Structure 1
Amino acid sequence: MSQAGLTGLVTRLLESMCRALWGFAPRMIPHIVARLGPIRAVLWFGVNMPRLLRTMQVLGPLRTHLAAVAISLHNSCTYCAYGHAFALELIYLRDHGRLFPVDAHTIAGWRDLGPRELGHRLRSVLQEAGLHVEALWADRTLALASGEQRPVDVYEARIVHMVGMLGRMNRIAVEAGVEPDEAQNPINKDIALKARYAQLRAATT
């Protein structure tokens, strides 16, 4: 098989995997395969995705997506910040029955804030949402992402893994100028919840 044929095959394979998991094929996939090459892309997904899914189980989906948002904003990545912020919004709506105080587009726009202001914005919105413990996790995640702190337990070690994994994705997305698409969580397949979300957001504008 030619290199182009292998690249196309791997791209379709990874898109199919994400479609089964999240209900859509992320715009990022072709860029990841192009940057890493088809073999390295498969290996990279094989190493990182199972651990990320396990982190979702250990830390919970909301905290995991919050960490991904913080890391991606630290790295000025609109694409990943939006995808994880939208997932966070949907999870919050499902679990609390109301909208998260700030929408994913607004959160993704915080990508150019300095570290102090970014931390303040995240803490403020999480406290407004009643997620006071998560505000502490946001601070800790930003400290780990910047290298100011080192992990002190196995839970923070999972955040450090996300720092490395998302760091690579963030760089690829920023350099390729990938536009945001959908929520990077199985909740994205909940059509009824997304319709309710859209209706509630429309009512606030």
Structure 2
Amino acid sequence: MGGRAVDRTVTGLLQWGCRQMWGFAPRMIPHIVERKGAGGALRWFAANMPRYLTTMQVLGPARTHLAAMVVSLHNGCIYCAYGNAYALELIHLREHDRLFPLDSRALHGWLGLEPRELADRLRGVLHEAGMHAEMLWVDRTLEILRGQQPVDAAEARLAHVVTMVSEMNSIATTAGVEPDEAQNPVNKDGALKSRHAALRAGV
């Protein structure tokens, strides 16, 4: 099998896996395979996704997506920022029966902010959402992005999210990948997504 055929096969396999998890095939999968090659892409997913999914269980999906959103905004990646922010919106609506204060469609103006301004904006959002304790995780995410080391097992998981998402940010921004959907199984809940859209539209 030629190199391009192998790339197509691996791309299809990874898209299938994401479709099973999240209900859609992310637009950036072909770009990961292009950047890393078929074998490299498989190794990267094998090395990172199981740990990421475990982190989702250990830290909780809201905290994990919040951290991934912070990393992506800091790194100027609209693709990953949107995918994680939209997931956070849907999870917040499902768990609290109200909209998350930050609309994932309005993130372009948040890209590449200075860390202090990003933290200040998120502090207001989290305060409005009633998620006061999460500000500590925003601060630690930004500190790890600046090179600080994790101090415990939970922060080691956070550091892995920072590293993994930063690499995804690099691939997505280089390729100019446009946002698609929420990077979480909640994306498969069509009724929740419809309700979210209606609330955002003021219906």
2: distance between equivalents of 1:96 and 1:50?
28
Greater CA drift, 29-38 or 158-167: 158-167
**Deviation digits for residues 35-93 of structure 1 (CA, Å, limit 9, x no counterpart):** 00000000100110000000000000000000000111111111000000000000000
Q: CA deviation at 1:156?
A: 0.3
Kept in 2, the 8 Å contact 1:82–1:108? The answer is no
Instruction: Give the alignment's TM-score, normalised by structure 2.
Output: 0.98
1: distance between equivalents of 2:26 and 2:109?
20
1:129 aligns with 2:129: yes
1:202 aligns with 2:201: yes
Q: CA deviation at 1:175?
A: 0.6
Aligned Cα RMSD in Å? 1.0
2: distance between equivalents of 1:27 and 1:109?
22
Q: CA deviation at 1:99?
A: 0.2
SS of 1:132's equivalent in the other structure is coil
SS of 2:98's equivalent in the other structure is coil
**Aligned pairs (5 A) from 1:23-102:** 23-102=23-102
Q: CA deviation at 1:108?
A: 4.8
2: distance between equivalents of 1:108 and 1:64?
21
Q: CA deviation at 1:17?
A: 0.3
**Deviation digits for residues 2-38 of structure 1 (CA, Å, limit 9, x no counterpart):** 0000000000000000000000000010000000000
Kept in 2, the 8 Å contact 1:126–1:135? The answer is yes
**Deviation digits for residues 99-151 of structure 1 (CA, Å, limit 9, x no counterpart):** 0011012235311211110111111101110000011111111111121x221
The alignment of Structure 1 onto Structure 2 pairs a total of residues equal to 203
* Alignment match, 1:21: 21
Greater CA drift, 8-17 or 98-107: 98-107
Query: Structure 2: 5+ residue runs without aligned partners?
Result: none
Structure 1 consecutive aligned stretches of length 4 or more whose deviation exceeds 3 Å: none
The aligned amino acid for 1:155 is A
2: distance between equivalents of 1:94 and 1:183?
14
Kept in 2, the 8 Å contact 1:80–1:180? The answer is yes
CA 1:136–1:107: 2 relative to 1, 3 Å: farther
2: distance between equivalents of 1:15 and 1:203?
34
The aligned amino acid for 1:44 is W
Instruction: Give the alignment's TM-score, normalised by structure 1.
Output: 0.97
